[in-house]
Structure 1
Amino acid sequence: MHRTTSRLMLLAVAAFLSGCATRPGPEVLQTTRANAPGAEIVTVYAATTRERAAANANVFTAGRSSQPNYASFDISVPPDHQPGRIEWPLPQDDPQIDPHTTFATVGQTILNRQGLLDQVATAADGQQDVVIFVHGYNYNFPEALYRLTQMSVDSGLDDTPILFSWPSQGAIAGYVADKESVTYSRDALTDLLGGLARDRRIGTITVFAHSMGGWLTVEALRQLRLSGQDDVIDRLTVVLAAPDIDVDVFRAQMQVIGPMTPPLAVLVSPDDRALRVSSQISRTRARVGALDIADPRVQAAAREAGLAIIDISSVAPSDGLNHDRYVGLAALYSGQRAEGDNTPGLGIRQAGAFIFNTVGTTLASPFTIVGEALAGE
């Protein structure tokens, strides 16, 4: 496709998103001391390669920090929270933060690397399970932080949530800069994974990466393998949601990484419009997150590479681009789980291509994917 057409497609996406509400800024994370009966408090830890706006504040910019920064946030989720939604304070340029009706930050702390590891490891008696969320392109820090909070609450799991936030520009036109920023962040993510994996106070480690964050995560895995850190990889469960990765690049990455146990899971939707634009920007290079599992070549490649490729097209999107279906998985899990049932659902234990069925299945959260595999070999 000609470059002009690619630009038109990008402008069309920008026009769609411009119709959404004003994006949240750091103001929405200001600490409030108010409380609301029935609100759920979630402690989310953050490791980020974003710069701090000031040394004494957890305000993170789109600039690249020379060293990773660390923090924790206590976030209140309102009593009437609707699964799949983030109840943002409005208006966001002068936010009216009310824990009765909105997400609210009720506490936050500046940490160093060891402080984060120690707090995560001692969050519960015995070994503490963790889930690391690596966000995608066009996210700012508050969006990524509250998205992880929403998914944690909707999933209802006890895993300690950790956000790994890289310095996305948080802008439609920032695609190229974002790609450079994920490359910049490989060492920091590799270091975080190594620190958690070698701490025996930590139990299971799930890495859940979306879109361009999937590319960053696979690059970190490749770096771990090339540096002989097999012990770290052996401790990880990895889920890639709508990964924005060139198919040929992914094949080369997986040749280095090799099969994982459990299999690395890839959540795909052939009708993902955001990945279609990414493909056109990349001169029609196919993206992994838009693979068609009905293609026998995809099925064979999944088995050969030891991957679980799962079509989640049956899950309703909320962004109009069919790129955020992973958010709906958490909402489904919340809505269909039996009262008091903390069973994490069925996990994938074999490689292949599957269809995720949203009806009559034991659902997993997006962090412990997936339900019944109804199709594919």
Structure 2
Amino acid sequence: MTAIHAGAAALPRVRFAVRFLLLAVLAGLAGCANRPPAAVLDPVPNSVAVSAGQPTKAASGARSLTLFAVTNRARDGDGFDSGRARTLTYERYRLSIPASHKPAAIEYPSTHPDPEKTMTVRERRRLDQRSMVAAIVAQPGFDGTVGLFVHGFNYRYQEGVFRLAQMAADSRSKAMPVLFSWPSEGALSGYLADRDAVLFSRDDLVSLMAALSETGKVRQILLFGHSMGGFLIMESVRQLRLTDRGDVLDKLSVVLAAPDIDADLFRRQMDVIGRLRSPLVLLVSPQDEALAASSLLSGARPRVGRLDVEDPKVRETARAYGVLVVDITSLDAPDGLGHDRYASLAAIAPQIGALGRPGAATPTDVGAFILDAAGQVVASPFTVAGRILSPR
């Protein structure tokens, strides 16, 4: 009877948490009700009309961007849905980024794409694992660094592709952008299903990291995860440690933005992972409302992405585990919830004095720091690790 009464007493809290989550996310998505369909990934040749009788022209000042995408989502025609596939699919994209592109923004193409105003897919090609790795290392200007992005909760495949394109375009990083898209439900009601999908995807992310690291031409993998994608990354890195894959771990520089991870669970994960060759970076904000809702749904347990860097316990824990905790509250949040601040990182000038000393930090330069957008700032998801961590 005690258990029944306890469960009954918890119901109001759960109901409140669900309402809070839905209201918070809906507020953040206000004005974004029309989510991009899979068709935004259809290649647009130069002969496609912007409107009837008006053929497109080469977009003046547009930039070309190549990225790769790997997914364990099930195929749905020419696209992918939230189904869970037992094999990986590999793709290469070439996109056109308009000269009018604004930092942190994603200019999705419409029914009649206009390369002058929107991001546009110019080429889409299916590959296998071997040909993808070969294509990555053969890209002009490849410097041995791969930027591997793992998206978070409530993402659809096409949204992951365009978010990666935005970050890569804004940062102008030399790291070759690669997306790992796990089978998120892509729906507000799919929170619990998404956590299961993360656990389903551990082996696949490990397989991808191993494949990239096995070629000597890939010297560094900047592994960047957002929200629930951070949970997937931590589980995968833990698995690499348990299977004695130090060869892969030594190439990793891990950055987690607003990680949706229980704080106690994170410490247990770090107990297994131990100190990495490059300190793990956490980008956090106590004002992240989406993670506040996640905390309520999880029994009011704190989430790593909302750590308070002013808390002495946080600073002590960061030093104990060799972690850099960076408060990015000062950055603009395009989602209105403070959960997508990471998208603004790419456009900021790289100044890192607030993290200790200019140049590169050593594994001993760990702890908790506050990012000052008006002064000392971090660069981008794919350059933050290379700029504030020890160079290869």
Which has the higher Rg, Structure 1 or Structure 2? 2
Give the match for residue 383 of structure 2: 368
- 1:147 aligns to 2:163 (yes or no): yes
Give the match for residue 341 of structure 1: none
**Shift, 1:305, TM fit:** 0.7
- Unaligned residue ranges in structure 1 (runs of 5+): 338-344
Give the match for residue 33 of structure 1: 45
User: Taking every aligned residue pair, what percent have the same amino acid on both sides?
Assistant: 41
| Residue number among 9, 18, 21 corresponding to 1:10 in the alignment | 21
Deviations 1:311-366 (CA, angstroms, capped at 9, x unpaired)? 111111111100011111112239x99xxxxxxx8554321111112233364222
Could you tell me the TM-score, scaled by structure 1's length? 0.90
1:4-153 alignment runs, 5 A limit:
4-17=15-28, 19-21=30-32, 22-34=34-46, 35-54=58-77, 57=78, 59-90=79-110, 95-124=111-140, 127-153=143-169
Give the match for residue 196 of structure 2: 180
**Shift, 1:36, TM fit:** 1.4
- Unaligned residue ranges in structure 2 (runs of 5+): 1-9, 47-57, 353-357
**Shift, 1:53, TM fit:** 1.6
**Shift, 1:370, TM fit:** 7.0
* Cα separation, partners in 2 of 1:125 and 1:36, compared to 1, 3 Å: closer
**Shift, 1:100, TM fit:** 1.1
Paired amino acid for 1:272: D
* Cα separation, partners in 2 of 1:351 and 1:118, compared to 1, 3 Å: same
- Aligned-residue CA RMSD (Å): 2.0
Cα distance in 2 between the residues matched to 1:87 and 1:119: 27
Q: Which runs of 4+ in 1 moved over 6 A?
A: 370-373
**Shift, 1:20, TM fit:** 2.3
Kindly indicate whether the alpha-carbon contact (under 8 Å) linking 1:135 and 1:144 is maintained by their aligned counterparts in 2: yes
Kindly indicate whether the alpha-carbon contact (under 8 Å) linking 1:212 and 1:245 is maintained by their aligned counterparts in 2: yes
Larger CA deviation: 277-286 vs 194-203: 194-203
Paired amino acid for 2:80: F
Paired amino acid for 1:121: V
Length, aligned pairs only: 358
| Residue number among 292, 296, 302 corresponding to 2:312 in the alignment | 296
Give the match for residue 53 of structure 2: none
Cα distance in 2 between the residues matched to 1:101 and 1:291: 38
Cα distance in 2 between the residues matched to 1:100 and 1:244: 37
Paired amino acid for 1:208: F
Cα distance in 2 between the residues matched to 1:310 and 1:355: 6
* Cα separation, partners in 2 of 1:65 and 1:219, compared to 1, 3 Å: same
Cα distance in 1 between the residues matched to 2:68 and 2:368: 33
* Cα separation, partners in 2 of 1:371 and 1:222, compared to 1, 3 Å: closer
